[in-house]
């Protein structure tokens, strides 16, 4: 008897487009009225409306369960834990992609990577490539510019700025070859305390994107962990060097958490906490094997906390599915603004306010490039997860012919590969993987070839295909730089 699984058909979203010339005119201040209409705003009329402030915190390579409020008994994250205690904590939130640039672009556009165009890393600057990876720089240079954020996109700070918000970024940008100030940010690398104090008369949007938990870890002597006491991830066998590395990772998490605390203190001191939405999440899984750069749970499962004392309940835990592509529409609904049709995420307000709400039936994730082209797609629905690999001849991490210096560079993000309890599939990898994540949360047993699960496999395959068609996910167009 096959497994029964109910799956919802995706809504068809037409791509939103605008020419480069239009974008530049809008960015320079020409045609402001048409820009207001495009983002769903009403121009100066919104200045009479009282909007909440927004602080969006997007961590770098921090695992979903590497915080006290998510069950880690050792790592010290008192400020993250406080946000969870005072807000809503999601247990089943996922990124759209386990790679930095693609994940961040989805957050800011409310659209999937294949829709907004950011499908590979946007930091491969030509000078760095020439210095460290001679012979490989031309392809990466072309990709950096080709896959930079499309000018047809409108990102969150642009829309908020049109609504009267003061906007600032501190930390990682990583989605465009152009600076953040070309994409709606008034200030860059500003101190939150100063920015909050200056912006009291306006609603403000502060985007904090720290890099403490990205290698090299930003550790602190104030937070030292005994390697013998760290909680070993269930995917990995024990090893002394691995424990040393995890102790450094924990130190970076606690150091980063302290910076989150400074932001919360600044809100408190300026009497802004009540009317400020604080969202905290992470761009992908940690820099360990079977995590970052993969569609397995450790790579795409993320922490997600939303605190808004003026409206949302405190100490609320939501087990409904959620995606980081949902954050943009969620913020708009909390603001009382309409959600533009171009956005591909779904607002999470209902599941945060209504305990009986069901929410999403499925979430979707994808990979295209991290450094090399390895296109995969995945759907998570109820207890099932389906992964489709479109280039099974490629390894997960380092392909044949990779220069030694690049191998060394890439290996920094896949620490623990030799310590995996269940080795990753090697080429040719399975084209399809099906996991019962309730019975097999570590995704060790691929059920795609098991006859009794054939019906579930077919349904998941069909649903993924519909989503790809509905969102114009044409993989053939992305194979220009294989």
Average of per-residue pLDDT across 317-321: 97
Q: Looking at the predicted structure, is the pLDDT value of residue 480 above 50?
A: no
Residue 34: its H or E element: helix 32-38
Which domain does 158 fall in, by range?
Answer: 53-361
Computed over every residue of the chain, the mean pLDDT equals 88
434 CB-side CA count, 13 A: 19
Q: How many domains does the chain have?
A: 1
Q: Which of 321, 318, 350 is nearest to 334 (CA)?
A: 350
Residue 278 lies in a domain: yes
Query: What is residue 434's predicted lDDT score, i.e. its pLDDT?
Result: 98
Q: Looking at the predicted structure, is the pLDDT value of residue 350 above 50?
A: yes
CB–CB of 113/96 below 8 Å? yes
CB–CB of 332/344 below 8 Å? no
Query: What is residue 31's predicted lDDT score, i.e. its pLDDT?
Result: 34
CATH of the domain at 75: 3.40.720.10
Residue 270 lies in a domain: yes
| Beta pairing partners, 364 | 379
Residue 387 lies in a domain: no
Render 159-215 in DSSP notation, one character per residue. HHHHTT-EEEEEE---S-SS-GGGGT-SEES--HHHHHHHTTTS-EEEEEE--TTSS
Residue-wise pLDDT for 246-280, tens only, equals 999 999 999 999 999 999 999 999 999 999 999 99
Q: Which of 393, 368, 380, 382 is nearest to 476 (CA)?
A: 368
Query: What is residue 124's predicted lDDT score, i.e. its pLDDT?
Result: 62
Higher pLDDT, 140 or 478: 140
Residue 8 lies in a domain: no
Residue 15 lies in a domain: no
pTM of the predicted protein model: 0.89
Query: What is residue 144's predicted lDDT score, i.e. its pLDDT?
Result: 84
> How far apart are the C-alpha atoms of 61 and 283, rounded to whole Å?
6
276-282 and 53-59 strand pairing? parallel
Residue 47 lies in a domain: no
Average of per-residue pLDDT across 205-222: 97
Residue 366 lies in a domain: no
Provide, rounded to the nearest whole percent, the portion of the chain with pLDDT above 70.
Answer: 85
Q: Looking at the predicted structure, is the pLDDT value of residue 35 above 90?
A: no
Q: Looking at the predicted structure, is the pLDDT value of residue 83 above 80?
A: yes
> How far apart are the C-alpha atoms of 290 and 446, rounded to whole Å?
15
Average of per-residue pLDDT across 108-137: 79
Residue 343 lies in a domain: yes
């Amino acid at each position: 008897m096959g497994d029964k699984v109910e799956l919802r058909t995706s809504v068809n979203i037409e791509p939103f487009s605008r020419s480069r010339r239009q974008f530049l005119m809008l960015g320079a201040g020409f045609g402001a009225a048409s820009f207001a209409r495009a983002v769903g705003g009403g121009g100066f009329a919104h200045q009479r409306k009282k909007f909440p402030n927004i602080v969006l915190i997007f961590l770098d390579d921090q695992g979903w369960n590497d915080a006290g409020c998510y069950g880690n008994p050792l790592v010290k994250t008192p400020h993250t834990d406080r946000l969870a205690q005072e807000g809503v904590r999601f247990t089943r939130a996922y990124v759209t992609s386990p790679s930095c640039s693609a994940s961040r672009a989805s957050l800011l556009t409310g659209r999937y990577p294949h829709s907004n165009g950011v499908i590979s890393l946007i930091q491969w600057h030509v000078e760095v490539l020439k210095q460290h990876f001679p012979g490989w720089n031309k392809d990466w240079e072309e990709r950096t510019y080709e896959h930079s954020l499309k000018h047809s996109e409108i990102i969150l700070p642009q829309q908020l700025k049109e609504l009267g918000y003061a906007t600032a970024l501190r930390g990682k940008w990583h989605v465009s070859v152009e600076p953040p100030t070309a994409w709606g940010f008034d200030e860059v690398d500003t101190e939150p305390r100063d920015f909050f104090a200056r912006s009291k008369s306006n609603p403000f949007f502060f985007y904090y994107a720290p890099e403490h938990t990205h290698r090299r870890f930003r550790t602190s002597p104030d937070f030292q962990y005994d390697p013998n006491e760290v909680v070993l991830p269930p995917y990995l066998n024990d090893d002394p060097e691995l424990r040393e590395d995890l102790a450094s990772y924990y130190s970076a998490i606690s150091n980063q958490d302290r910076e989150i605390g400074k932001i919360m203190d600044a809100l408190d001191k300026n009497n802004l906490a009540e009317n400020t939405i604080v969202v905290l999440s992470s761009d992908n899984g940690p820099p360990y094997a079977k995590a970052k750069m993969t569609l397995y749970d450790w790579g795409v499962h993320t922490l997600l906390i939303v605190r808004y004392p003026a409206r949302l309940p405190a100490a609320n835990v939501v087990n409904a599915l959620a995606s980081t592509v949902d954050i943009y529409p969620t913020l708009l609904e909390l603001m009382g603004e309409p959600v533009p049709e171009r956005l591909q995420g779904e607002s999470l307000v209902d599941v945060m306010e209504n305990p009986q709400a069901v929410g999403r039936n499925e979430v979707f994730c994808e990979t295209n490039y991290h450094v090399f082209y390895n296109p995969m797609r995945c759907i998570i629905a109820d207890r099932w997860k389906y992964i489709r690999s479109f280039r099974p001849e490629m390894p997960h991490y380092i392909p044949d012919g990779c220069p030694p210096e690049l191998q060394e560079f890439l290996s920094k993000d896949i620490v623990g590969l030799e310590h995996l309890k269940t080795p990753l599939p090697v080429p040719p990898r399975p084209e399809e993987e099906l996991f019962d994540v309730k019975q097999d949360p570590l995704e060790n047993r691929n059920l795609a070839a098991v006859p009794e699960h054939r019906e579930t496999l077919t349904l998941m395959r069909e649903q993924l295909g519909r989503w790809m068609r509905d969102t114009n996910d044409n993989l053939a167009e992305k194979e220009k730089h294989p």
